[in-house]
A and B are shown apart, each in its own frame.
Chain A
């Protein structure tokens, strides 16, 4: 065997090892997701057996369980799964595309944009719950488009996108504060509940739009996953290797923002899930693996576990966004310290 063949064989086995490790990691995450979903369906104030839960899922009528599981827990768990996956996949898409962990939608103002619109809808326009969802969706899209247009003058650069995004986030936060200060106290409660991100309002009706957005956007993200992975070696190098950088970037931004906006509309901005999921997935996957699905799984796990913990682990019930916020804030600080240590800039 020549040296060349030996090298080729070594590369092949290295690549197969990596694929195997990716596969096993994703399978373990899937198993963990199924477990936490099953636990969330079974346990609660009243607990039901696996048999009862399955019976409800297959459409049989079980006294008590049909309502608690069928109308409350099942839509809640499904919303948590889809929204968590959406936050994770969209967040990691942004972070990978802009090659920066700070480029997550909850840092660059897309989530804040949704929040500002939602709060305005609740307090100033007295909208219904469904109308608020769509208004928040519009808010996320408008914010993302403005950040893109503002940062795209004289060529697109990731750093400019992030810095303008952080500025826009601050503007949106100030709109939220302004609207909240001018609100009557009974409406503040509704608005705060929306802003903290929660699965309490989950229902089959609200799940519909999210599922539709999921069915359209996730396949697009997966189709672009390889090009996205190529963008990590720089826009110019990727162009040289045949990636159509501009169309891919626009397609990725549009589908990630749409996915994120629909998820935010369904649950409110669940703090830091989009921000944390990508880096966690990057840590557990082998280097250079595509992160869309792993980050989606991590996002869904974060949401379901935090929601379960928020409901039952403490004396009081906390919305899921409070728990993820408690987890995410220290991570943000840690990340900023790391960036500072490495002496790199945004």
Chain B
């Protein structure tokens, strides 16, 4: 199964009130690939993801799914194609893992919450894939940060969408769990062909786990391409105002960035 859906920003301008964050931005998302949006704090990467996730309506232009503006599609239909994991979702008090993951089935169900065999199948599959089946009856409150993030990803998986948008899925996690989450997303991309678009803070992880990088500065796309194409010392200086050297990561072959700070430089 490969992703057939095309997501594309066409000349979008995004603003909060009178504060414009992004102006006339064009960006096509490659189907079936993992795309990471990187950039300094406040460059508009989360805002851009919000527009792709229809949480923010562009002031100008539109985000198109298969050529048609998101705002013109019924939200339930859209939710069967486009999944979203926000940065800080809220787990209701006392809710069980199975119940929370089951909510991912909402766009597939009718008005009266009748569960079909397919719903049970999808939830079971999501729990197994994320390794959280053993936690199904536990309360989400009791879980560790890493377990909780896997449960949220399971909810997004249960939604069974072709495209999955994630806003900093590795924040608040320790290194082990960061790798675990990114491995999980890569598995998903490779086995199901899911298109993944995420905002990532950590350049090293973004370089290793992405097929495509989008470098953003002040709401403009400075470069898109493979990590190798994008992560050059010149571009990193421009995007992050930081001098660095780039070498090959001996483990993955991806670019490895060595920042040069003020101190500890030979």
Contacts and interface: CB of A to CB of B under 8 A. Distances in A.
Interface residues of B, number: 51
B123 A288 contact: no
B58 interface: no
Contact of A236 (B55, B82, B102, B106): B55
A232 B76 CA distance: 18
| Candidate in A233, A244, A282 with the most chain B CB atoms within 10 angstroms | A233
Nearest to B112: A226
Given A3-B128, A11-B98, A233 B91 contact: yes
Interface string A1-14: 00111011111101
A240 B158 CA distance: 13
Nearest to A155: B16
A234 interface: yes
Given A242-B106, A287-B94, A7 B128 contact: yes
Contact of A8 (B16, B106, B123): B123
B92 A287 contact: yes
Contact of A287 (B80, B82, B95, B111): B95
B75 A232 contact: no
Contacts of B93: 282, 287
B220 interface: no
Nearest to A17: B137
B136 A14 contact: yes
B143 to A, nearest CB: 14
A230 interface: yes
Interface string B33-63: 0000000000000000000011100000000
A339 to B, nearest CB: 13
A99 B90 contact: yes
Interface in B183-214: none
B17 interface: yes
A239 B55 contact: yes
B79 A240 contact: yes
B90 A154 contact: no
B17 A287 contact: no
A234 B16 contact: no
Nearest to B129: A4
Interface in B95-110: 95-96, 98-100, 102-104, 106-107
Interface string A206-246: 00000000000000000100100010111011011111100
Contacts of B91: 233
A288 B99 contact: yes
B159 interface: yes
Given A4-B128, A14-B137, A239 B54 contact: yes
Interface in B203-242: none
Contacts of B137: 14
A154 B16 contact: yes
A7 B90 contact: no
A233 B78 contact: no
Contact of A288 (B75, B76, B92): B92
B104 A239 contact: no
Interface string B134-171: 00110100000000000000001001000001000000
Contacts of A99: 90, 92
A4 B121 contact: yes
A15 B88 CA distance: 26
A5 B103 CA distance: 19
B16 A15 contact: no
Contact of A11 (B17, B82, B113, B123): B123
A288 B96 contact: yes
Given A154-B16, A230-B106, A234-B88, A288 B95 contact: yes
Given A11-B102, A242-B79, 9 more contacts: A7-B133, A11-B98, A11-B127, A14-B98, A14-B136, A99-B90, A226-B112, A239-B53, A242-B106
Interface of A: 3-5, 7-12, 14-15, 18, 99, 154-155, 223, 226, 230, 232-234, 236-237, 239-244, 282, 287-288
Interface of B: 16-17, 53-55, 75-80, 82-86, 88-96, 98-100, 102-104, 106-107, 111-113, 115, 120-121, 123-125, 127-128, 133, 136-137, 139, 156, 159, 165
